[in-house]
């Protein structure tokens, strides 16, 4: 619930849309005013100063290109103190939503809208503009959230981040590969008092035990054979900021013991040094281990887990928030069109339905890569289901969804080998890039390459 009333402005040339929006929103958020003519917008904003504008994109009879709405949006973005904008568009006009997001809109809803979707979008927009409106939330810092999606799980995740960010509590981020754990860590850092200091990450899954202490603690010149100069470790380099210990579930038991000692004493000693240094970094750790494995004492030390999980944030898999897929796909398609110099193209209704029906074993990372492939390779004037190649790459070891199983008779091992081969081809032999595309660590990719003789 919001703790203070908001001012919402609806600009739509259909008076019935304005009435429907006012009836839905005013009881939940505050006063709602409706306009039918764009010529009234500037004066209303100047006099009334609304918190949020719901903007239709077409006002001229017979026009559906959204040009007038985009022009208004660009003008608003240049005005200091302008309200946040949620654009309203027809379902078939996803390409228009892409342009609107690029022009500065915060979000979009399709008409006729789904009530929970519109309510969630408005609540999130108001919370980003004035975080104190969100009951129980700590004041946020930094830019609007980079965690896209208005589904209930994502709203709850953002609420928890807002409440936790201002503290120095250690945070454990749980979630499947590609779900966005590193993005959650970055969001925590950007909304914390530490945001002006560095956020550093170390991939413990690919770090051998022999290099653990040098990487984390640092070393002095001459502390071992190849130590030709002093080197600060990640604990020192992240002082005053945040240190992300990624894939902490893959840390060996001996490595866990060394990390536990640092967290208990709040100090560390670089290799070759005599004097300990204080631990001044906030620790955020992340793992894709399921909680059954994480709480297995044969796999992970309970005393270390106790130190790490003061706060636990669970990142939902994409299949658990399918209602966010249209916004995510729209965002990625616009982003990669700009990056690769391609014109924005619409998604066909069939393509959107296909994206939402897919199980996304690689989660948001999987969707992002599918969108980039489509932007680069799609031949048509609009995106079709085949452009996303959903019957192709899957995360290694993950069984494809029923709708995605090819009729080639390939075994799972054959599909895994084909996925590895294709990822290495697309990455031009770069193992780090191939691992990123597949959503696995470099160490895991090396094991799979060796298994298949690639």
Count helices and strands in the chain by DSSP H and E runs? 18, 14
* Contact by Cβ (8 Å): 51, 130: yes
Q: Which residues, in sequence order, are CB contacts of 248 under 8 Å at separation 6+?
A: 204, 285, 286, 287, 308
Q: How far apart are the first and last CA of the chain?
A: 55
pLDDT of residue 163: 83
pTM value is 0.56
Mapped onto helix, strand or coil, the DSSP state of residue 46 is helix
* Contact by Cβ (8 Å): 145, 158: yes
Residue closest to 250 by CA, chosen among 200, 213, 281, 288: 288
CA dihedral (60, 105, 323, 16) in degrees, to 10, reads -40
Neighbouring-strand partners of residue 35 = 11
Output the CA–CA distances (angstroms, integers) from residue 208 to 188, 195, 214, 310, in the order listed.
Answer: 28, 30, 11, 27
Domains identified in the chain and CATH numbers: 6-133 (3.40.50.2300), 152-314 (3.40.50.300), 319-451 (1.10.8.60)
* Contact by Cβ (8 Å): 125, 52: yes
DSSP annotation of 35 reads E
Query: In the numeric block, which tokens belong to residue 224?
Result: 């071992």
pLDDT of residue 141: 41
- Return per-residue pLDDT of the chain as tens, 454 residues: 344 688 999 999 888 889 889 988 988 888 999 999 999 999 999 999 999 999 988 887 767 778 888 889 888 888 877 898 888 876 445 567 667 777 777 777 778 777 767 886 787 677 655 544 443 334 444 456 788 888 998 988 988 888 888 888 888 999 998 899 999 999 999 888 888 888 888 888 777 777 787 778 886 676 665 656 667 778 888 888 899 999 898 888 888 898 898 888 888 888 777 788 888 889 999 998 887 788 888 888 888 887 887 788 999 999 999 999 999 998 999 889 988 888 888 889 999 999 999 999 889 999 999 999 999 988 888 999 989 988 754 444 444 444 444 444 455 666 677 778 777 777 767 777 777 777 777 667 777 776 776 6
Output the CA–CA distances (angstroms, integers) from residue 368 to 136, 178, 185, 318, 346, in the order listed.
Answer: 33, 10, 19, 12, 16
Output the CA–CA distances (angstroms, integers) from residue 378 to 101, 145, 334, 339, 389, in the order listed.
Answer: 22, 30, 14, 15, 10
* Contact by Cβ (8 Å): 108, 132: no
- Burial (Cβ within 10 Å: 0-12, 13-18, ≥19) of residue 381: exposed
- How far apart CA 188 and CA 141 sit, in angstroms, is 10
Residue 440: φ, ψ to 5°: -130, 165
Residue 240: φ, ψ to 5°: 85, -10
Interaxial angle between packed helices 363-377 and 325-339, expressed in degrees from 0 to 180 and rounded to the nearest 10: 50
């Amino acid at each position: 619930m919001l703790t203070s009333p908001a001012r919402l402005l609806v600009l739509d040339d259909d008076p019935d849309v304005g009435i429907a929006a006012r009836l839905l929103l005013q009881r939940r958020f505050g006063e709602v005013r409706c306009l039918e003519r764009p010529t009234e917008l500037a004066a209303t904003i100047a006099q009334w100063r609304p918190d949020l504008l719901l903007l239709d994109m077409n006002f001229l009879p017979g026009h559906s290109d959204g040009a007038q709405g985009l022009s208004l949006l660009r003008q608003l973005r240049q005005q200091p103190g302008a309200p946040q904008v949620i654009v309203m568009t027809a379902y078939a006009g996803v390409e228009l939503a892409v342009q609107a997001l690029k022009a500065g809109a915060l979000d979009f809803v399709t008409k006729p809208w789904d009530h929970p979707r519109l309510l969630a979008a408005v609540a999130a927009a108001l919370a980003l503009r004035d975080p104190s409106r969100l009951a129980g939330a700590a004041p946020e810092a930094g830019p609007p959230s980079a965690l896209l999606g208005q589904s209930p799980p994502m709203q709850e995740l953002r609420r928890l981040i807002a409440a936790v960010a201002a503290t120095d509590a250690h945070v454990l981020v749980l979630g499947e590969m590609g779900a966005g754990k590193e993005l959650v860590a970055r969001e925590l850092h950007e909304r914390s008092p530490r945001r002006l200091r560095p956020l550093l990450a170390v991939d413990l899954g690919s770090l051998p035990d022999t290099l653990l202490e040098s990487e984390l603690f640092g070393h002095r010149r001459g502390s071992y054979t190849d130590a030709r100069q002093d080197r600060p470790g990640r604990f020192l380099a992240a002082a005053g900021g945040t240190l992300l210990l990624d894939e902490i579930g893959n840390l060996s038991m001996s490595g866990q013991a060394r990390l536990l000692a640092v967290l208990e004493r709040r100090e560390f000693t670089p290799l070759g040094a005599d004097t300990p240094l204080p631990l001044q970094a906030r620790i955020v750790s992340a793992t894709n281990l399921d909680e059954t494995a994480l709480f297995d004492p044969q796999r992970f030390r309970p005393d270390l887990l106790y130190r790490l999980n003061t706060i636990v944030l669970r990142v939902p898999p994409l299949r658990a928030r399918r209602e966010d897929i249209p916004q995510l796909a729209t965002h990625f398609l616009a982003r990669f069109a700009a990056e690769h110099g391609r014109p924005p193209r619409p998604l066909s209704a069939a393509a959107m339905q296909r994206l939402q029906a897919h199980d996304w074993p690689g989660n948001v990372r999987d969707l992002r890569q599918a969108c980039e492939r489509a932007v680069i390779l799609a031949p048509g004037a609009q995106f079709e289901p085949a452009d996303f190649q959903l019957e192709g790459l899957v995360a290694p070891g993950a069984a494809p969804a029923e709708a995605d199983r090819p009729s080639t008779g390939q075994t799972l091992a054959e599909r895994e080998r084909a996925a590895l081969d294709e990822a290495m081809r697309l990455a031009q032999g770069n193992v780090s890039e191939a691992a990123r595309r597949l959503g696995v660590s470099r160490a895991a990719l090396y094991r799979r390459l060796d298994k298949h003789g690639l």
